Amino acid sequence: MIVKTKIREELNRVTSELLDTLTNISPEIFFLKPDENSWSIGEITDHLIKIETLTFQVIQNARLSTTHRKPDEKIKYIRDTLMNFDKMLSAGGPILPDHQINNKDELIYKLKEIRQSLINFIPNNDLSIRCEIFEHQLFGKLTRIEWLYYVVYHSERHLNQINKVKEALVAK
């Protein structure tokens, strides 16, 4: 129960921080790119929605599968990898942002919605189940608890990116 309480607190904390940050960014810069090789804040938000929707589908459809390791074994590795802001990571395929997005309020609404689904999933589900239906390109097969911590650290990574994009745009 302590584990479930802790991950819910972490998700609530990072969600509040992310939503506060996004809400306080002016619509004039939300969809601007600091340079041609960067994502806009809107694109970063769209990417978060896509990866978290996929994550929710993965943890929701996990079948009872015992793991031959501790269910939280990869959390430190996930944190260390995602919180290393000097290391460039790339996304591909279905989690790439849609470059045609242009509605800030809709993106924030969708982000709130998927976050609430993730948070509501926690209390009534076994978080130690390994998710066999999808393998993360960097971290391999993860348990539900590891996927949820992935969302936390992935969000923190992109919060850092959002703040850098905002600083670069304001400085122009």
| Mean pLDDT in consecutive groups of 10 residues from the start of the chain, 172 residues | 90 98 95 93 96 96 78 96 90 75 94 98 94 90 96 98 94 76
3-state SS class at 95: helix
Protein fold of 2-30+37-171: Four Helix Bundle (Hemerythrin (Met), subunit A) (1.20.120)
- The dihedrals phi and psi of 140, each to the nearest 5 degrees, come to 75, -155
pLDDT value at residue 88: 84
> How far apart are alpha carbons 64 and 62 in whole angstroms?
7
pLDDT value at residue 1: 64
Q: How many CB atoms lie within 10 A of CB 38?
A: 16
3-state SS class at 140: strand
Q: How far is CA 39 from CA 44, 91, 165, in A?
A: 6, 12, 8
- Strands in 60-153 per DSSP E: none
> How far apart are alpha carbons 104 and 86 in whole angstroms?
28
pLDDT value at residue 29: 94
* Inter-residue contact 127 to 143 (CB < 8 Å): yes
pLDDT value at residue 25: 96
Whole-prediction pTM: 0.94
Tokens of 65: 């599968």
